[in-house]
Structure 1
């Protein structure tokens, strides 16, 4: 599921990545008092995400968009990968990738996620194949 603005799903293309596939956002966190409350999320990711970052949005698969809140990371947007588990404080930055220099740059990168209309009767909405996968053939 992608972030939905007025029935339009949006995706973004990170400025700083190896693979230029679009990413989507499930939701932004807020002060909601439920499972998406930012205070709950911050506590959930303590000791998993570096102290210089704060999660602000969830991406598919449990990945997180984070904003830098301290030091050289301040104001920058980072992508944290859930699947890359760390065991020590020294490894904590390994699953983190800088993707934008500001929140403004992130928002300005949003694009409408085009749905594939070739399969009108299909339940498949979108098929994504990365360039890295295709380069193997």
Structure 2
């Protein structure tokens, strides 16, 4: 079988990835896609400071960073990529039911408070009503 010749920019990107091996692990973990990395590499260039933390020579530094806490946006986007639509609908439905229940309980408390506070208002408006002849 013959190999298709890739576009020169794709070949350059492959060489770039070989020099920045940590990016492969990030793609496998789902933090990035190859398309995202290629577009960033194409727009920013290989010499951009962003890529220094992913180079093979600084892989220890990246591992320490990864040990702390990942970028929250990457975590959220990873969760969203892995979610099932039906499952999300189920969660939203349950959340809606919970909010409705809370609103019902709050409205009951508010109605009891308004019923209990209305006689108080009458007493405050006419505090000497018990002395009438």
Between 1 and 2, higher relative CO (CA 8 Å, sep ≥ 6) is seen in 1
The structure whose residues are more often helix, as a share, is 2
The structure whose residues are more often strand, as a share, is 1
Shared fold (TM-score, shorter chain, > 0.5): no
**Structure whose CA Rg is larger:** 2
Q: What TM-score, normalized by structure 1, do the two folds share?
A: 0.24
